[in-house]
Amino acid sequence: MAHQDSPDTIEAAGPKPERPIDIYRRAAVCLEACLPLGWTMSSDRPRSPEAPQRLVVTSPEGESVSFAIVASRGVLSGDVARIAAELSDSDRGFVCAHYLSDPVRRQLDQHGISYADATGNLTLVASRPAVWVRNRGADADPWRGPGRPSGVLTGEPSDRVVRALADHSGEMTVPELIKLSGASTGATYRVVEVLMEREFIRRIPRGGITEVRWEQMLRAWAADRKMCATRRFAAPDGLEIVRNQLAERIDITYALSGVGATDYADSDVLELYADDPDDFAGALGLRPVDRGGDVVVAIPWSPVVFDRMDRARSLRSVAPSHVYADLLSGPFRDQEAAEHMRARLTADEAHWRRPIH
């Protein structure tokens, strides 16, 4: 078995590679420098800016092993299981990124996936021909300065940017996104970088956002964001009276969500957002309860729940994108209704995503 374990760190230099082809080339340089004597590597010729599809490593005896190349700007811990699932049972993966953190590298090792980043972190393993190559690179992302994004979609800027991207279609510039979302300039650029690293959006270098993978983005946002506190209330006169009151009054600020904001099924519980649950309950004559209840009121972390509201059965509801996220995770979650909502949103994007131009 050929074995190469280099203690030397290949220092990152120059600008961070952005295009898939550049990410692969930097990773390939690291791998070629660490291969045992007599071993060679090759790949198919890609069409720039895409990376090659396959890497072939050949032993001195002429025996070869092939790897499927996965080039990504950034890989997070939550992405590893997806990458492993997308590889066929008989295939081997070779993940390339500008930087792979220690937790991500450990997960890739556990899944038997080879990898290399532009700082020199590298593992390549195969059983036939038997080869094991390993190298130590940087312990921290050299391109991430103080205050740069953590990779997690939490906080009001993330709420605003994710919702604005999901709710609109068409190519948009970051200044346009800043205006649509209402987030600050710095925060918007930071969230955009996280979304690019997680490959939920595509952006021309220093240019506009050309593609939004809204379903994957909303799933990640639903999983990352904080859980809202909720209050429960009973409706002494029944839910129909409450619905009628909400349909008639414009002085009460609320946004319906959950199953009741969809056409999936009738709900015997009214689920909604309100900034002040006690004021909301007082205006409608609701009685607080510890368990059960007819009305569940969530206190929103950010006012984005009231942006671009929709109508559901004469009631104001959060936007369809927000309904989907709430059904995936949080106090209003319902997996079957979420799948129904996903199918509906996918089937008719033009109905709920507003053209940017």
Q: Please write the tens of the pLDDT for every residue from 19-49.
A: 888 899 989 988 999 999 999 999 988 776 8
Here the CATH number for the domain that contains residue 161 is 1.10.10.10
Is 214 within the bounds of a domain? yes
How many domains does one find in the chain? Answer: 3
How far, CA to CA in Å, does 108 sit from each of 6, 23, 75, 103? 19, 18, 10, 9
pLDDT, position 149 = 53
For residues 204 and 249, state if they share a domain.
Answer: no
For residues 308 and 257, state if they share a domain.
Answer: yes
For residues 251 and 213, state if they share a domain.
Answer: no
pLDDT, position 179 = 95
For residues 129 and 180, state if they share a domain.
Answer: no
Domain termination site, one of 177, 192, 224: 224
Tokens 């800027």 belong to residue: 157
Name residues of the chain where pLDDT drops below 70: 1-14, 48, 77-78, 145-150
What is the C-alpha separation between 53 and 94, in angstroms, rounded? 10
For residues 238 and 218, state if they share a domain.
Answer: no
pLDDT, position 10 = 46
For residues 242 and 344, state if they share a domain.
Answer: yes
DSSP notation for 228-283: PPEEEEE-TT-HHHHHHHHHH-SSS--EEESGGGSSS---SSEEEE-S-HHHHHHH
What is the C-alpha separation between 11 and 166, in angstroms, rounded? 38
Give tens-digit pLDDT for 310-339: 987 789 999 999 999 999 998 999 999 999
pLDDT, position 9 = 44
For residues 100 and 57, state if they share a domain.
Answer: yes
pTM for the whole structure: 0.65
Structure tokens at 222: 């639903």
Is 146 within the bounds of a domain? no
Is 144 within the bounds of a domain? no
Give tens-digit pLDDT for 158-201: 999 999 999 999 999 999 999 999 999 989 988 998 898 788 99
* Residue 195 CA, distance from chain mean position: 7
For residues 215 and 245, state if they share a domain.
Answer: no
pLDDT, position 150 = 61
3-state class of 187 per DSSP?
helix
Is 263 within the bounds of a domain? yes
Is 149 within the bounds of a domain? no
Is 151 within the bounds of a domain? no
The whole domain housing 184 covers 156-224
For residues 117 and 8, state if they share a domain.
Answer: yes
Is 147 within the bounds of a domain? no
Is 207 within the bounds of a domain? yes
Structure tokens at 100: 């792979």
Domain termination site, one of 135, 164, 180: 135
The neighbour count for residue 80, using CB atoms within 10 Å, is: 23
